[in-house]
Amino acid sequence: MFQALSSDAVTHGIQLAVAPVFFLTAVAGMIGAVAGRLGRIIDRARLVEERAHSTADAALLARAHTELSELRMRGRLANGCIALLTLCAFLIGLTIIVLFLGETTMLESSRLAVFGFLSGVVSFLLALTCFLVETVIATRLLHFHLPPQT
């Protein structure tokens, strides 16, 4: 199963495994960005709930329920995005391991590496789709209440 490790094989294995590490860096950055958005969604939902509890105005309550419903949807999309990005990072990590083992052992790993990497990319693309939908919903929610011009 294991062959004698040559420094050339180890060096080449490390070179193969480094390329997906750059992808992991992008995924980590996306996780940070989406986690920040999720935190803002949660903060906004708490504020809207507080305002809804302290008012008896039916129109304000109706707007609060509508906004909370959209915030719930945005939160679910952000959670889904983070889950897909985490899955992507896991798959890319496995790909790195498989590439390294394939280079340093007799393990036939090319199909596993291709499957892991492509699955990670698909997961990343789905996460980007969730992110896009969440940002579209967020910008649709923008209401600028300016006083009328005189």
Average pLDDT over residues 75-91: 97
Structure tokens at 44: 């906004």
pLDDT band at 57 (very low <50, low <70, confident <90, very high): confident
More confident residue, 13 or 40: 40
Per-residue pLDDT at 138 exceeds 60: yes
Per residue, the 3-state secondary structure of 5-31, as one string, reads: CCHHHHHHHHHHHHHHHHHHHHHHHHH
**Residue predicted with more confidence, 9 or 98:** 98
Asked if residue 47 lies in contact with residue 77, where contact means CB atoms within 8 angstroms, the answer is no
Answer whether 141's CB lies under 8 Å from 68's CB.
Answer: no
85 DSSP 8-state letter: H
What average pLDDT does range 6-35 have in this prediction? 80
pTM above threshold 0.75: yes
Percent of the chain with pLDDT over 90: 49
Domain boundaries, the chain: 13-139
CA–CA separation, 2 vs 85, rounded Å?
33
What per-residue confidence (pLDDT) applies to 12? 65
The pLDDT of residue 4 is above 60: no
Candidate from 47-51, 57-61, 133-137 with smallest mean pLDDT: 57-61
Q: Please, are residues 32 and 94 in contact by the beta-carbon 8 Å criterion?
A: no
| Contact status, residue 49 vs residue 68, Cβ threshold 8 Å | yes
Are 2 and 102 in contact by the 8 Å Cβ rule? The answer is no
CA–CA gap between residue 15 and residue 117 (Å, rounded): 16
CA angle 31, 75, 33 (to 5 degrees): 25
Please report how the helices 110-140 and 58-104 are oriented relative to each other, as an axis angle in degrees rounded to 10.
Answer: 160
Q: What pLDDT score does 1 carry?
A: 47
Is pLDDT above 80 for 6?
no
